[in-house]
Structure 1
Amino acid sequence: MKHDHISFLEYNINQLMLPMDISELIPQHSVARVVNEMIERIPDNHFLRYYPGGGRSSYHPKMMTKILVYAYTQKIYSGREIARQLEENISLPLLWLSAFQKPDFRTINRFRSERGKGLVEELFKQVLMLLVEEGHVHLDDYFVDGTKIEANANRYTFVWKKSTENYKKKLETKVDQLIQHIDGIVAKEEIEPPSKEETKSLITSEKIEKKVQEWEKRLEQEPKNKELKKAVKKMKTDFLPRSAKYEKQLATCGERNSYSKTDPDATFMRMKEDHMKNGQLKPGYNVQMASNDQFILAYTVHQRPGDTRCLISHLQEAKEKFGVKAKNVIADAGYGSEENYAYLEEQGQEAYVKYGMYEKEQTRSFKKNPHHQSNWVYDEEKDVFLCAAGKELSFVSEKRQRTEFGYESTTRIYQCRECEGCPFRSACTTSKHGRSTQVNTTYQQYKKKVQERLWTDEGKQLYAKRKVDIESVFGQFKGNRSFRRFSLRGLAKVSIEIGLISIAHNLLKKAARGAA
């Protein structure tokens, strides 16, 4: 068949014509150019301080940093995949950034893990400072929130603190019974009953080991004592290793309720990404981040699931590591605790942070509820509350609580002794002891200040912007860049990954603005 007027562009696979400069093939507003420019602007001394010197020549840290950060902008989180892209000449921007050097995956992973933590934190700080200088980022408003990211760990290799404590308690009972049986006496006599703390450590692996040594010496004198020989074997092969295992597990847990055997730093948490829809707990980390105009200002990684007790340590790290201390802190009700309000006030920062009951308190039904304490009359002179029926709730006791940061809160408890026969009792309380209420005056004062601040025009605008700002960052991470699971294990290495993806995020935002 004859074809007329068909023309093709010239195609010759053996043609050896290439541009003299590979950078000509990189688009003008490519994120690779932004990565290159920003990292080149950071002085060498920020990189060299992590190198002791001596030994064989190393790849330049700026080159290694560029290929890692660029890879994270392209959703490439595996050291093997980065090395493959370089080795097989797949990614032209990666080849350009590496100047055609091709480190293998071990070198890439070693650089990320060993040089990583201090270097990445310093790099994030330097990039942030450059973005501030260029006017992309402002540090006045600090939108903070947390998200949980799954650890690189087996979902079913869990250790629960409560279960371990129960196993240890049962083991201690068996050990105590065996000691009493063999020795014929109570293992430890006390004139006064032991305290709870003493009871917990009554039977330890150290005590079991000492008892084994004692019985082995006794066996030398009574070699035919079969019962004693059997007891020594039971202690050495069963009770001692189990006791040591439980002690190690409880030490690893610390204040946490659980950890993963494949990544002991990871805690089991409830994730939003629940593919089985059954509320399954998975090993993970709680990542706290702050943003402004969707640029990340600071990041921290925590082992506890709840956001409330993460805020102070997050703000402290943001100030120490990244030099960020904002005027306004905006966060959701998960952060609204007395301690957090007190800390922000002490630091001279304005809190635009809702508390747990904030939304409910704005409803008409709540304001008209005669049985809620906030709608009662308080007689300051007599120190009593008057309920809807005119009955007095008088002061009964006071309880104090001290947090891990040393903050002490005081709650006063009031009790009504006239509930019997009250027509409102069923609507007011279900307690058989009558209605009681707890009052924390300091917390109420903080809540009142926050409420007034949130009611202002500025407060409404800032809080409305919170969802658009920080929650969009998490959407970018998990949705657009598919970062839902860490590649590395351990708290230190996980922090490196979050640092890298935070730098990548900020440079992607800068590149997008440049292209606009």
Structure 2
Amino acid sequence: MVFIQSSKNQTWLLPPDIREIISSDHICYLVDSFVEELDFTDFELRYAGAGHPAYHPRILCKILIQAMIDGIRSSRAIARCARENVVYMYLAEKLIPDFRTISDFRMNNGSLIRNIFKNTIYAAREVGAVGLGQLSIDGSVVKAFASNNSTVTKNELGVIDDYIDQMLKEITITDELEDKQLHQCRGYDQLDSTSKSRVKSICKKYADKFQNSEQKKNLRCIKNLKKAKDESIIDNVEKFSLTDPESRFIKNKKGRIELGYNTQLTVDHKKGIIIANDVCQDRNDVHQLKPQLELVEQYCGQLKESTKICADSGYMSEKNIQLLMQKNLDPYIPERTDKNNIKKVQKRKNGSIIHASFFTYDEQRDVYVCPENQILKLYYEFYDKRRSLTRRVYKGISCRGCKSNQQCTNRKDKTRQLQVNCLSNDRKCLKEKMSTVEAQRIFEERKYTVEPVIGNYKQNLKFREFSTRGLNSVKNEFNLMCAAINLKKLWLHKECK
């Protein structure tokens, strides 16, 4: 067999252009042209004047977007790609930014990253990939970059805070003694203020080497502890994380309660473009419909009347329905159903207990009538915070002597009770509409729009856990992810043409 001859030690007479090595239809060219059209005037004004030259923000934006497309989120891995990967060499324009530069840029430039995401929406609208005829909203829990074990309660936080105050007093006294010792040193008084601060910082570095390592560890935690104390004032939470105080304990789809953030998406049905995204600390989605609609109108303008809005039962509430009706939008949101209640309903319909659907409501007398023609009168009503609605309880008045008592109730007092939701007229109309075949078909289209987007970034791009800490930082990271997904869809849309 004859092998193809290689030229391992052969040098190039003329160095090749990097673009000759990269495929002509690679997505990096779309990333390059997209970022080149962004406005970096604010950065150019900020870095004008004397000082060490900085990396242009377009270079860092290019490699960050390409890294998100490739599922790379570690700043060290991105810096390594800029050294070793020809695609990243091309986007970085043959520069090699440090991993700290990449990490700090991603953390400190939230407005620019948000504008990158907005520009992907504008680009999609220009090529006709956004229709705004039907939108789907959904949320998903993404794990925070924090351990469930490094948490403290409110009481523990108060004790630690007192301990830190005492420690800071001791450190202040130590600093005063060090200042006195420095003043006694020969030549210290002749130095200017800049030289004095430099000498003081160098002396502090040498002094830190002799400090107890545990004490230094505690000093590094002071910032997070203070942040956790602020979070306890803002949000009434029993437990806080020391590594990421802004994260919250949220139940994920597997039923496990872990530290994380609630990510929100609004996806257009035409080509699956993300037109709004956000990250919040809420444990559920019920309060996130309004912020998502506001972001959609901010990025895409006022929505047309009768625009279809699809969301799961987690967004169902009276306020959300009123908001959609005021905007003349067409909602498709089912009522909340508890999974445990569904199992109970299936069990009762099999014959063990008479199901509530066999009871008829008499609107004139405001009573329920059971299959044995016995009456259930209004007992009391209450507000269910979890479902965000008022519920009414009806109680039987002559259940003890009924021949079907054993099949009707398991209560000790042998009386049947029914819990009924008090729905507004708009909510009743929506419930009736959702029972139709057409509404169910429209609602099922969520499975082919917003849910695949979530599955894509969690399964394919491995975005199950944030790599940064703090609400603002994770928002920047999620905006980059959504911008990368939109650019990938635009690239596929272009390839299809």
Q: TM-score range by the shorter chain?
A: 0.7 to 0.9
Distance 1:370 1:8, change over 3 A: closer
CA contact (8 A) 2:353 2:407 kept: no
Deviation at 1:490, TM superposition (A): 0.7
- Aligned with 1:15: secondary structure? coil
Counterpart CA distance in 2 for 1:371 and 1:511 is 57
Counterpart CA distance in 2 for 1:60 and 1:44 is 9
What stretches of structure 2 of length at least 5 have no aligned partner?
Answer: 167-224
Counterpart CA distance in 2 for 1:351 and 1:101 is 50
- Aligned with 1:308: secondary structure? coil
Counterpart CA distance in 2 for 1:358 and 1:371 is 19
- Aligned with 1:440: secondary structure? strand
- Aligned with 2:377: secondary structure? strand
Alignment of 1:22-37 (within 5 A): 22-37=18-33
Alignment of 1:457-468 (within 5 A): 457=438, 459-468=439-448
Alignment of 1:283-294 (within 5 A): 283-292=259-268, 293-294=271-272
Counterpart CA distance in 2 for 1:74 and 1:506 is 13
CA contact (8 A) 2:28 2:87 kept: yes
1:189-210 Cα offsets, whole Å, 9 max, x none, are xxxxxxxxxxxxxxx99xxx9x
Identical amino acids, percent of aligned pairs? 28
Instruction: Kindly indicate whether residue 361 of structure 2 is the aligned counterpart of residue 378 of structure 1.
Output: yes
Deviation at 1:38, TM superposition (A): 1.8
CA contact (8 A) 2:321 2:426 kept: no
Counterpart CA distance in 1 for 2:426 and 2:404 is 29
> Which residue does the alignment assign to 1:511?
491
Distance 1:96 1:152, change over 3 A: same
1:361-382 Cα offsets, whole Å, 9 max, x none, are 9989869999444543333332
- Aligned with 2:441: secondary structure? helix
- Aligned with 1:67: secondary structure? helix
> Which residue does the alignment assign to 2:468?
488
Distance 1:401 1:354, change over 3 A: closer
Counterpart CA distance in 2 for 1:501 and 1:351 is 28
CA contact (8 A) 2:348 2:355 kept: no
| Residue from 270, 292, 309 that aligns with 1:329 | 309
1:336-377 Cα offsets, whole Å, 9 max, x none, are 334433332233222222223499699898699994445433
| Residue from 120, 124, 131 that aligns with 1:138 | 131
Instruction: Kindly indicate whether residue 117 of structure 2 is the aligned counterpart of residue 124 of structure 1.
Output: yes
Deviation at 1:249, TM superposition (A): 8.2
- Aligned with 1:290: secondary structure? strand
Deviation at 1:52, TM superposition (A): 7.8
Look up the equivalent residue of 1:133 and give its one-letter code: E
> Which residue does the alignment assign to 2:94?
100
Instruction: Kindly indicate whether residue 105 of structure 2 is the aligned counterpart of residue 111 of structure 1.
Output: yes
Deviation at 1:448, TM superposition (A): 4.3
Counterpart CA distance in 2 for 1:444 and 1:109 is 52
| Residue from 289, 299, 310 that aligns with 2:277 | 299
> Which residue does the alignment assign to 1:70?
66
- Aligned with 1:80: secondary structure? helix
Counterpart CA distance in 2 for 1:114 and 1:335 is 32
1:451-502 Cα offsets, whole Å, 9 max, x none, are 4246243x34332321122221122112211122111001110011110011
1:424-454 Cα offsets, whole Å, 9 max, x none, are 3333333345333343332575154244246
1:108-139 Cα offsets, whole Å, 9 max, x none, are 11111111x22222221111111111012222
Counterpart CA distance in 2 for 1:337 and 1:428 is 31
| Residue from 407, 417, 422 that aligns with 1:436 | 417
Counterpart CA distance in 2 for 1:367 and 1:132 is 52
Instruction: Kindly indicate whether residue 1 of structure 2 is the aligned counterpart of residue 8 of structure 1.
Output: no
Look up the equivalent residue of 1:34 and give its one-letter code: L
> Which residue does the alignment assign to 1:39?
35
> Which residue does the alignment assign to 1:61?
57
> Which residue does the alignment assign to 1:392?
375
CA contact (8 A) 1:377 1:387 kept: yes
Distance 1:129 1:321, change over 3 A: closer
Counterpart CA distance in 1 for 2:318 and 2:330 is 14
Counterpart CA distance in 2 for 1:513 and 1:464 is 24
Counterpart CA distance in 2 for 1:7 and 1:418 is 94
Counterpart CA distance in 1 for 2:352 and 2:427 is 23
Distance 1:50 1:35, change over 3 A: farther
TM-score under structure 2 length normalisation: 0.73
1:133-169 Cα offsets, whole Å, 9 max, x none, are 1012222221222222111112311345xxx47x899
